[in-house]
Amino acid sequence: MKISFERFVARRFLSKEGSSFSRSLVPIATCSIALGVMVMVMSVCILRGFQKEIEQKIIGFGSHITVKSYEVGQQFEEIPISTQRAEVERIKSLPQVSHLQFFASKGGMIKTPEQIHGVIFKGVDKEYDSTFFSQNIVAGRLFSFADTSASNEVIISQTIAKKLNINIGDKVRTYFWQGESYRARAFTVTGIYNTDLADFDEHYMVGDLRQVQRINGWDSTQVAGYEVLINDFDQLEKTANEVLQQLSYDLTLTSIVAENPALFSWLDLLNSNIILILSIMGLVCAVSIISALLIMIFEKTAMIGTMKSLGANNQSIRNIFLLKSSGIIGKGILIGDLIAFVLCEVQSKFNIVKLDPASYSMSFVPIDLSGWLFVGVSLGTFIVCMVALLVPIRQITHINPAITIKSE
C-alpha cells in the first residue's frame, strides 16, 4: 500500500490539476533530456561510423597483419618468400585468423602521350579477398584471372584515371625498374575504383600477381609476403603475437596500425571526443532534471509540510519526487532514442548529409548503428540523472511542517 500511495501522489501532484508553471516545467525538462540523449547517441554513432569506415578502407588496401622477408633488397626491391612454407598452414589454423592471401608489389610509372605518373602495382591471386575493391568500383569491373597465363587486366583509381585521362578499356603503358634497366608492360583498364583515401588512391594499381612474378623473374611459388585477415580488430595485438610465434627467424611481421601510425593515432583521438561529448551532454541532462526537481520541491513546499503533518516520513516523500523525476527521465530518454534512431537510419540508408572527400576521406556522414549503444547511453543517462538527484532530494528533510503550514 505504501508504494501505491507514493505512485498515486507522484502521478497526480504535477498533473493538469497542478499550477500552470508545473505543467510547463515537465515538458521543458523532458525535452532537455531528450535533446541530450539524441546528441549523445548520434555523436557516438557518427564518430564510431567514421572510425569504422576509415579502418575498413586502410585494411582494404592491405590487411590486418603483413608477413614479409626480414631482409631488404637493393633499391627497396622485395625479397621473395615461398607460398609453401610450413608456417602458412599454422597461421591459417589460428582461431582469430579468417583468411590468408599472397601478394607482391612493384613500383613503376604509367606513361601516356601527355603525362607520366608513378604507381605501385599490387599483384594478387585468385584467393585474394576482393570484397573491398568490389564495393568501391565506380566504373567497369574487377580484373579477371586467366587460367594459364598472367592476366593483362588491371583496375586503377579514379584519381589516376582523371589525371591521365584514362577510360575503361584503355591500354596503359607501364614501366617497372628491374636492376639497372626497366621492363615495360601494357595493361588493359577494366575498372576504376574510388575510396576517397588520397594517399592510396594516388598510387595504387591492382592486377594479377603473376605479372609481378614474371617481371621479377620469380617462379609461381614465390611472393613478396602474406596478408593475414582476422575476425576481430580489437584482438589485433594479441593475434599478431600469435602469428609472430609461428614465424621463422627470417620473416618479419607488421600490423596495419604499425604501418599507418598517424592515421590510427588520429582515430584514437576521436575516442577522446566521444568521452567529451558524453560527459558534457550527461551533465546537461543532470542539470536539467536537478533544476526541475528543485523547482517542484520549492513549489510543493506547502504540500510537503501537509503530508508530514499527516504522518508521511521523509523517505516516503523523497520516493514520491524520485518516482516523478524517473518518469520524466525515462520519457526524455525514450523520445531522444527514437529521434536519434530515425535520423541515423535515414542517413544510413540515403546518405543525405554529404562531406568533402578531400577533407574527410569520405563523401557522406557514416553511421554505425548498434543496439548496445542505445542501451548503454540510455542506461548511463538514467543512472547519472538519478544519482544527481540524491543531492537536491535531501532538501525535503529540512522542510518544517509547522512553518510551511503557518506561512500558508
pLDDT for residue 192: 96
pLDDT computed for residue 359 by the predictor: 80
Residue type at 376 in one-letter notation: G
Q: pLDDT tier at 38 (50, 70, 90 boundaries)?
A: very high
pLDDT band, very low/low/confident/very high, at 308 (cuts 50, 70, 90)? confident
Question: Residue 293's pLDDT band (boundaries 50, 70, 90)?
Answer: confident
- What average pLDDT does this structure show over 151-168? 94
Q: Which residue has the higher pLDDT, 228 or 6?
A: 228
Higher per-residue pLDDT: 405 or 237: 237
* Structural contact between residues 187 and 153, judged by C-beta atoms closer than 8 angstroms: yes
Checking if the pLDDT of 20 tops 60, the result is no
**What is the pLDDT, as a whole number, of residue 180?**
73
Confidence of residue 149 (pLDDT cuts 50, 70, 90): confident
**Count of beta carbons in the 10 Å neighbourhood of residue 215:** 22
* Spacing of C-alpha 118 from chain mean position: 32
- pLDDT of 76: 59
pLDDT at 261: 86
For the segment 322-327, the average pLDDT, to the nearest whole number, is: 84
The C-alpha atoms of residue 267 and residue 48 are separated, in whole angstroms, by 10
Distance, CA of 222 to CA of 220 (rounded, Å): 6
- The reported pLDDT for the residue numbered 254 is 93
The predicted model gives 89-102 an average pLDDT of 94
Would you say residue 17 has pLDDT above 50? no
Q: What is residue 163's predicted lDDT score, i.e. its pLDDT?
A: 93
Predicted confidence at residue 173, as pLDDT, reads: 93
What does the alpha-carbon distance between residue 69 and residue 65 come to, in Å, rounded to a whole number?
A: 14
Q: List pLDDT tens digits, range 21-32.
A: 556 777 888 898
What per-residue confidence (pLDDT) applies to 315? 78
pLDDT at 2 (0 to 100): 47
> What is the tens place of the pLDDT at every residue in 328-384?
899 999 999 999 999 999 999 998 999 888 788 888 999 998 889 999 999 999 999
Region of 106 please: left (phi>0), alpha (psi -120 to 50) or beta. Answer: beta
Mean pLDDT value of segment 88-99: 93
* Residue 406: per-residue pLDDT: 52
pLDDT for 273 equals 84
CB 354 within 8 A of CB 252: no
> What is the distance, to the nearest Å, from the Cα of residue 292 to the centroid of all Cα atoms in its chain?
36
What's the pLDDT score for residue 16? 45
Average pLDDT, the chain: 86
Give yes or no for residue 405 having a pLDDT over 70: no
> Residue 216 in contact with residue 79, Cβ under 8 Å?
no
C-alpha to C-alpha distance for 55 and 342, rounded to whole angstroms: 26
**Residue 15's pLDDT is what?**
52
**pLDDT recorded at residue 124:** 94
Condensed to tens digits (0 to 9), the pLDDT of residues 268-283 reads 888 888 888 888 888 8
Confidence category of residue 60, pLDDT binned at 50, 70, 90 = confident
Q: How do beta strands 153-157 and 181-193 pair?
A: parallel
Q: Looking at residue 89, what is its pLDDT? A: 92
User: What are the cell numbers at 108?
Assistant: 613503376
Q: Kindly state the percentage of the chain with pLDDT values over 70.
A: 91
Average pLDDT score over residue span 39-49: 92
